[in-house]
Chains A and B, each alone.
Chain A
Amino acid sequence: MIEAYTINGAYQMKLDDVQGSIEVGKRADLVVLDRNLFEIAASEISEAKVVMTLFNGKTVY
């Protein structure tokens, strides 16, 4: 599911060489959440809050 919203979404835009994963050389586009999605129940995922969003390295949220 996370892949669908990150690397595969980027692939659809033919941008998976510059976005979609956190790798050296790619754009610094990141989302920080208040909880680890792998440590909570699936039913709790919708309650996760975005703490910070980085776009091209700059904090936009």
Chain B
Amino acid sequence: MPQKNTFLAGIILLIAACGGDQRPEPVTAADRVLLNGAVYTVDAERGWAEAVAIKDGEVIYVGDNEGAGAYITTESEIIDLVGQMALPGFHDSHVHVLTGIMDEDECDLLRIPTAEEVAVKLKECNGLAGIGDDEWIIGGGWISPR
């Protein structure tokens, strides 16, 4: 019963807000907060940080532990990095993104076993691309069955 839960959370937040003498209400309530990390941000203007707050899959705070406190509510999941290093998710740069996209428009000869079938496929590709006799058909992927 998600609606009821949301309602209850609302009441809890209201009660918390009425408390008044505690720390100020969170700027934004984070879903998850990473604390005590050696966070290598790869942000040229920042360098290293201790804490990261996350909401809806997005980073909403980067900085020291103290600053992260403003984003923590009873709903927030706290992850103690115990000094471990955190860095941005890795990107493998050698994945041939552009050629992968271009291959989609090329004549795919993968798993076509005989010369005759290749010839048929090439004619198909020619027709699909609507190119003339003096133009190139670009494609590949053919592997000799022998």
A25 to B54 alpha-carbon distance, docked (Å): 10
Whether a CB of chain A sits under 8 angstroms from the CB of B107 is no
Whether a CB of chain A sits under 8 angstroms from the CB of B24 is no
Tell me which residues from 1 to 56 in chain A have a Cβ below 8 Å from any Cβ of chain B.
2-10, 12-13, 19-38, 51-56
- Our pick among B41, B57, B97 for the contact of A56 (Cβ within 8 Å) is B57
Tell me which residues from 7 to 52 in chain B have a Cβ below 8 Å from any Cβ of chain A.
31-32, 34, 37-43, 46, 49, 52
Whether a CB of chain A sits under 8 angstroms from the CB of B93 is yes
B85 touches A58 (CB 8 A): no
A27 touches B59 (CB 8 A): yes
A51 to B92 alpha-carbon distance, docked (Å): 19
A25 to B97 alpha-carbon distance, docked (Å): 25
Size of the chain B interface, CB-CB below 8 angstroms? 35
A8 touches B59 (CB 8 A): no
A24 to B58 alpha-carbon distance, docked (Å): 8
A13 to B98 alpha-carbon distance, docked (Å): 9
- The bracket for how many chain A residues form the interface is 35 or more
Closest to A5 in B: B90
Q: Which residues of A contact B55 (CB under 8 A)?
A: 57
A52 to B34 alpha-carbon distance, docked (Å): 12
Closest to A60 in B: B89
Q: Which residues of A contact B61 (CB under 8 A)?
A: 24
Q: Which residues of B contact A55 (CB under 8 A)?
A: 89
Chain B residues engaging chain A, CB cutoff 8 angstroms: 31-32, 34, 37-43, 46, 49, 52, 54-62, 79, 81, 84-93, 97
17 contacting pairs across A/B (C-beta < 8 A) = A2-B40, A2-B42, A10-B88, A12-B93, A20-B88, A22-B49, A23-B43, A23-B46, A24-B62, A25-B58, A27-B57, A28-B54, A30-B88, A32-B81, A32-B86, A33-B84, A57-B55
